[in-house]
Structure 1
Amino acid sequence: MKIYLLRQHSKPFGGAEAYLSRLSSELERQGIEHEVIHSKAPLFLASWIRALLFNLQVCLTKKNRFYFSLERITCPDLYRAGDGVHKAYMERLKIQSFNPLHWVYLFLERRCFEKSRCIIANSQMIKREIMEHYQIPSEKIEVVYNGVPLKESDPLKAKKELSREFGINEESKILLFVGSGFERKGVASFLKLLSTLEGNFIAFVVGKEKRMSRYEALAESLGLKERVIFTGARGDVEQFYAASDIFLFPTHYEPFSNVVLEALSQGCVVFTTAQNGASEILPQEQIMKDPGDLGIQKHLQELLYNPSLLEQKKGESKKIAQGFGMEANVQKSMEIITRLIHD
């Protein structure tokens, strides 16, 4: 049976969009017939209207199609909750808003969870949140962690290229943040942690942000003007992973961020918060209790001062990533799809 993959947006940046692209590529490689459906609604419409129109677009034309949805809709066969649980997200960030988009998401989310024949959660954290907030039975939810293409890179070449472009010392250790939407993803916490560190290091902040000047000013106020480079969105983010030593991602809420797997696969030592589902695959000492947790400062400092320990931990990162290739993700997803089709 042909599989229809649903995602409202087709933007080039974004974790769900990156996952969809990888999923589609792997399905194509395996010869599995599929089609990707995006929204036809014009972009000048309000986002909450586009969300409702996409739901109408796909549900009115469903018929006997098999829908594997990466978007909150009211008619999925299989729903991958890659965007997490919006109700939990609003509670976690204490969002009290009259923005109709939040209420549209909550409306679609409840019906999506209830109407799906099966739900894929990309972390145990998200499975718990779906069960707690919507009373969905455990047996309806399968946990399938994200996957990334596993590629070999040349760290020395990548570092030389970054050194040439940004004029940095090739001997410096590199700390990295990658993500768009700096407030939720913890750039302020990233900068505050950096300000407590000593040694020969430089940091890159890669990603799109409307209020970039606010974070540049914060970096300057923390004495980091010469140590932190804000690059904006980049199409060559793999080069930054390959050149970096430590990936620090103190996010407030992430179902399972692809950037953690991407960084691990390139040998970065990764630190993130317990509020990120991807923390479930990391050693305990690399998990922050929350974005403001300074308890990892000692470990970060030790890595900067101890080259042999840093190399050991980078090797361990690559070993973790080996268990999360895209092929394994597609295989588990296809097992679920095959079961649903034959039920």
Structure 2
Amino acid sequence: MKKPLFIRFKNTKTGGAEIYLSRIAQAIYDKNPSIFSSGDYSQDSKLFVKIPRFFPSFLAFLYFLYSYEKFHKSHPNFLYFSLERVLHCDIYRAGDGIHKQWLAIKTHNKPFKKFKSFFNPMNILYTFIEPKLFKNAKKIIANSQMIKDSLIEYFHIPPHKIEVIYNGIKIPKAINKGKAKESLIHKFPVLKEKIFILFVGSGYARKGLKEALIMLSKVTSKQWHFLIIGKDKKITYYQKLAQTLSLEDNVLFLNAQENIVSFYQASDIFLFPTTYEPCSNATLEAASYENAIITTKQNGAGELFLSDTILENSKDILRGCEILNTLLENQQLLSTTQKKCAKAVQHLTLQNHLEKTLEVIKNL
């Protein structure tokens, strides 16, 4: 078997792809992993791409792509496993989804935004690369059935070429919601003894925070707190929106949090009406800590749960409100839904994920 070489443009340290890459690389290499990147992975110097600091993002990625393709052509003895959109590789993990599909969703019924997207150089570059990447790759790993279906629909990729491997998560050994709630209330006294509804994600627009706030503004009961974790440049807009919707007493903006597990464990409902998410890790992790999941069909992770709590799309406000009202008014149903959601992700262990990925590598 050829030695695997992994490809990733940057290293953001906390990104989902970077965490995935570190796990899979550690399983194959004890140290000094073979990763071709402009980020620091403690890789060999010949696998490090030094990009001039003054380059804008478009030129930086183009420079990286050129460097990689040149290396790929002159080093045929590696098995190339890419987590980045490149022109040639043996295995591509479509963890970032399909850019063509995301653009279609983002610009739907928005002619000005669609026109504007044509002038974004990254959009031009990604849409140029994707069809060639999907055609040239020998195997594509999709992290949800949604992404596999999209690859077939948008690019006519043969189904046998695509392997669905959901993201692996750390399954908790024990859950004590009562103790976790007490700890969180001690840290944030304003929370009191109420049902906690959780939202986790940076980049609020795509994750559906506006829609979540509107849904909650129409909920009958006010015996809940909405905890918002994540960052956004326009956070002030969302804070003002919460005030406009008379939710300021029920909503808490917490920015990024280091110990996010404590919030998963203390919360009861995970509300995530995203417009597009290949397979949200936050959704899977929240479910593993017995949260009732409310998300959309545009979240690949949503296909693991019962359709009762899955919205048609992020604009399905009334349906979202109905689900919230039902769960908030029926404690027994809420508890049953929490248990079902946790059971739905029990098989997504890190070990199972690793074994399936290594099997794809070995069988190529």
**Could you say which TM-score interval applies, normalised by the shorter chain?**
over 0.9
Counterparts of 1:50-199 in structure 2 under 5 Å? 50-62=60-72, 63=75, 64-94=77-107, 95-96=114-115, 97=117, 98-152=119-173, 153-197=175-219, 198-199=221-222
What SS does the corresponding residue of 1:4 show, helix, strand or coil? strand
- Identify which range, 88-97 or 150-159, moves more after superposition: 150-159
What SS does the corresponding residue of 1:61 show, helix, strand or coil? helix
* Equivalent pair of 1:22/1:149 in contact (CA under 8 Å): no
Q: How far, CA to CA, are the matches of 2:298 and 2:283 in structure 1? A: 13
- Identify which range, 63-72 or 78-87, moves more after superposition: 63-72
> Which residue of the partner structure matches residue 235 of structure 2?
212
Counterparts of 1:328-343 in structure 2 under 5 Å? 328-340=352-364
> Which residue of the partner structure matches residue 323 of structure 1?
347
* Equivalent pair of 2:197/2:271 in contact (CA under 8 Å): yes
Q: How far, CA to CA, are the matches of 1:277 and 1:109 in structure 2? A: 19
What SS does the corresponding residue of 1:251 show, helix, strand or coil? coil
* Equivalent pair of 1:15/1:257 in contact (CA under 8 Å): no
- Identify which range, 190-199 or 246-255, moves more after superposition: 190-199
> Which residue of the partner structure matches residue 253 of structure 2?
230
One-letter code aligned to 1:14 = G
RMSD: 2.0
> Which residue of the partner structure matches residue 301 of structure 2?
278
- What's the CA shift string for 1:24-64, capped at 9, x where partnerless? 45x26x97995333323255422222222222233322311
Aligned residues: 338
Cα distance 1:307–1:22, how it changes in 2: closer, same or farther (>3 A)? Answer: farther
How many Å apart are 1:156 and its aligned residue? 3.1
What SS does the corresponding residue of 1:254 show, helix, strand or coil? coil
> Which residue of the partner structure matches residue 270 of structure 2?
247
- What's the CA shift string for 1:227-254, capped at 9, x where partnerless? 1111112221111111110001101111
What is the TM-score normalised by the length of structure 2?
0.87
* Equivalent pair of 2:81/2:90 in contact (CA under 8 Å): yes
- Identify which range, 77-86 or 119-128, moves more after superposition: 119-128
How many Å apart are 1:113 and its aligned residue? 0.9
Structure 1 stretches lacking a partner, 5+ long: none
* Equivalent pair of 2:222/2:250 in contact (CA under 8 Å): no
Q: How far, CA to CA, are the matches of 1:19 and 1:270 in structure 2? A: 23
How many Å apart are 1:295 and its aligned residue? 1.0
How many Å apart are 1:289 and its aligned residue? 0.5
Cα distance 1:285–1:68, how it changes in 2: closer, same or farther (>3 A)? Answer: same
What SS does the corresponding residue of 2:193 show, helix, strand or coil? coil
Cα distance 1:227–1:104, how it changes in 2: closer, same or farther (>3 A)? Answer: same
* Equivalent pair of 1:205/1:228 in contact (CA under 8 Å): yes
Q: How far, CA to CA, are the matches of 2:286 and 2:52 in structure 1? A: 35
- Identify which range, 164-173 or 99-108, moves more after superposition: 164-173
Cα distance 1:258–1:23, how it changes in 2: closer, same or farther (>3 A)? Answer: farther
How many Å apart are 1:14 and its aligned residue? 3.2
Structure 2 stretches lacking a partner, 5+ long: 39-48, 108-113
Cα distance 1:313–1:68, how it changes in 2: closer, same or farther (>3 A)? Answer: same
Cα distance 1:280–1:311, how it changes in 2: closer, same or farther (>3 A)? Answer: same
- Identify which range, 164-173 or 138-147, moves more after superposition: 164-173
* Equivalent pair of 1:285/1:296 in contact (CA under 8 Å): no
* Equivalent pair of 1:272/1:279 in contact (CA under 8 Å): yes
Counterparts of 1:15-26 in structure 2 under 5 Å? 15-24=16-25
Q: How far, CA to CA, are the matches of 2:31 and 2:142 in structure 1? A: 22
* Equivalent pair of 2:208/2:274 in contact (CA under 8 Å): yes
1:45 aligns with 2:60: no
Q: How far, CA to CA, are the matches of 1:148 and 1:133 in structure 2? A: 29
One-letter code aligned to 2:234 = R
- What's the CA shift string for 1:152-190, capped at 9, x where partnerless? 344333323321222234421100110111111110001
One-letter code aligned to 1:287 = I
